[in-house]
């Protein structure tokens, strides 16, 4: 039984969006329904009045000047959905599509989109019953809304396309029927309201943010363990250093690293007589780099929380008050530039977290830098140890560097130059999950190397929290005495990083999280 959470449109927290992404079932706070009904009634009045209003009784985009007769309005809404189902590529991950649906649900429920309560109820019921449209991952430029992805979502609501269900993938009609639902006939404005908006880009960006948060916390743990493995000093984590610079993220990262290393017998063994004056930057500058990453992630989180609570379709409906006429206003809230900027920030942070981790791996396998056996093997030469896992980490980091180029600086005109500047937010956000997966693999390799390095210091032990980190790994991956098939070891470590098991292993230290 999955958890259920209630969304109050316009006031949903990042924690609630995270819960939806992790599997919770969203339900609307019923207090929003009168506003939804009022917006739908306003559309009915606009249609009855007969004046041309974009998206209600006209064509779309460059065809906005084409007037559509009243008898064709249902066909108009169906046609826009079908014609815009032009996505390409692999199906988007189910957790991302669920989050996209929930974002669209909360946006429409703010009473500015002209959606009817029954249509909104179908979208809510699909989420509750696990009917998740198959949404191709490519095809949006992040302006005029995420048209193609949201059209594939909407198509299932009208009985077209495919959906994943609790009993497998089915065509739309069968999928809906399998849980007692039926397709809807879209009324005026409804098709456009459903497919116009930034929810695909925002869902992917939020998913990337949530994965980056887990990556960030994991990297603090492996970074601290690497520091002990290399007999690094914890002096650079002294709070006095970081309070002078005043960056909040830097202070939080230093506090966590200092707390993680407190009580380490390895550290205590070289407090006196250590000939090294300063450690390499990959150890010494962890608070500065990781702190900057945390600050950037928090800024991106603020942008995305605002976007997730906004209304981004077009036109927007403003029901008349106290006898005033209803208004339908065309604007540009569908332009996803804020999401594109947030996604670029997250991409840079993911890239830097992985890059710093790879440098610690390289340091650990180099005896001239770490003081440990070459490539962390007791018999270097006969054994290669962790030589090639470091190469793998380098390859993954290089791939992430290429992917981190800002998407938001690109634009290409569409729709016969009517839509002449676009954000590329969908592309920018969609790359985040594979970037995070690459970086998590790098962190997992560092975990293997750092635990191996600490093993060489026995009987000295690391701190209590870091012993928990090492013990979790050793429960599945034994110490590497002689070369063996490395991929299973790496796969086991990666799985624990991705699942959050690594972070969950340390409960005594308050790791920084996304605000």
281 assigned to active site = no
Of 134, 151, 146, 148, residue with least CA distance to 97 = 134
> Residue 198 carries which DSSP code?
S
Query: Where on the phi/psi map is residue 351: left (φ > 0), alpha (ψ -120 to 50), or beta?
Result: alpha
Reply yes or no: is the peptide bond before residue 424 cis, omega within 30 of 0.
no
Q: Are 510 and 465 in contact (CB under 8 A)?
A: no
User: What dihedral do alpha carbons 89, 201, 198, 129 form, nearest 10°?
Assistant: 70
Strands 88-91 and 136-138: antiparallel
Q: Where are the beta strands (DSSP E) in 319-401?
A: 327-329
> Which residue, chain included where needed, has tokens 């690293």?
257
In angstroms, the CA 53 to CA 64 distance is: 9
SS percent in the chain: helix, strand, coil, step 5: 55, 5, 35
Q: Are 134 and 152 in contact (CB under 8 A)?
A: yes
Cα angle: 27, vertex 30, 33; to 5 degrees: 115
Q: Which of 21, 54, 216, 281 is catalytic?
A: 54
In angstroms, the CA 230 to CA 457 distance is: 10
Catalytic residues: 54
């Amino acid at each position: 039984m999955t958890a259920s959470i209630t969304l109050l449109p316009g006031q949903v927290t990042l924690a609630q969006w995270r819960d939806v992404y992790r599997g919770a079932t969203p339900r609307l706070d019923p207090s929003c329904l009168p506003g939804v009904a009022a917006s739908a009634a306003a559309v009915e009045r606009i249609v009855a009045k007969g004046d041309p209003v974009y998206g209600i009784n006209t064509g779309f985009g460059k065809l906005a000047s084409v007037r559509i007769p009243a008898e064709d309005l249902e066909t108009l809404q169906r046609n826009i959905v079908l014609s815009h189902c032009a996505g390409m590529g692999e199906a988007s991950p189910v957790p991302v599509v669920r989050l996209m649906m929930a974002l669209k649900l909360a946006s429409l429920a703010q009473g500015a989109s002209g959606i009817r309560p029954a249509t909104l109820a179908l979208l809510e019921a699909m989420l509750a019953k696990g009917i998740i449209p198959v949404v191709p991952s490519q095809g949006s430029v992040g302006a005029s809304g995420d048209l193609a992805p949201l059209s594939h979502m909407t198509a299932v609501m009208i009985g077209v396309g495919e959906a994943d269900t609790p009993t497998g993938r089915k065509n739309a009609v069968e999928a809906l029927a399998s849980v007692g639902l039926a397709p809807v006939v879209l009324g005026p404005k409804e098709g456009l309201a459903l497919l116009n908006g930034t929810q695909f880009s925002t869902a992917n960006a939020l998913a990337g943010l949530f994965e980056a948060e887990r990556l960030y916390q994991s990297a603090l743990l492996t970074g601290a363990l690497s520091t002990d493995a290399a007999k690094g000093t914890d002096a650079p984590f002294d709070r006095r250093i970081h309070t002078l610079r005043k960056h909040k993220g830097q202070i939080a990262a230093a506090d966590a690293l200092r707390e993680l290393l407190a009580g380490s017998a390895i550290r205590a063994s070289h407090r006196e007589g250590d000939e090294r004056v300063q450690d390499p930057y990959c150890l010494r500058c962890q608070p500065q780099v990781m702190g900057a990453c945390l600050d950037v992630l928090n800024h991106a989180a603020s942008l995305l929380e605002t976007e997730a609570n906004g209304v981004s379709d077009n036109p927007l409906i403003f029901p008349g008050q106290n006898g005033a006429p209803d208004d339908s206003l065309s604007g540009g809230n569908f332009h996803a530039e804020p999401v594109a900027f947030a996604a670029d920030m997250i991409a840079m942070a993911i890239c830097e977290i992985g890059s710093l981790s790879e440098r610690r791996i390289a340091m650990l396998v180099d005896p001239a830098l770490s003081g440990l056996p070459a490539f962390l093997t007791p018999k270097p030469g006969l054994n290669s140890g962790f030589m090639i896992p470091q190469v793998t980490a380098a390859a993954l980091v290089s791939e992430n560097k290429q992917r981190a180029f800002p998407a938001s600086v690109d634009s290409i005109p569409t729709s016969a130059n009517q839509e002449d500047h676009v954000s590329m937010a969908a592309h920018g956000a969609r790359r985040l999950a594979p970037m995070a997966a690459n970086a998590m693999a790098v962190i997992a390799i560092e975990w293997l190397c750092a635990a191996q390095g600490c093993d060489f210091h026995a009987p000295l032990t690391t701190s209590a929290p870091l012993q928990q980190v090492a013990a979790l790994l050793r429960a599945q991956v034994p110490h590497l005495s002689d070369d063996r098939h490395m991929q299973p070891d790496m796969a086991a470590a990666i799985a624990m990083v991705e699942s959050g098991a690594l972070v969950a292993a340390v409960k005594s230290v308050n790791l920084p999280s996304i605000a």
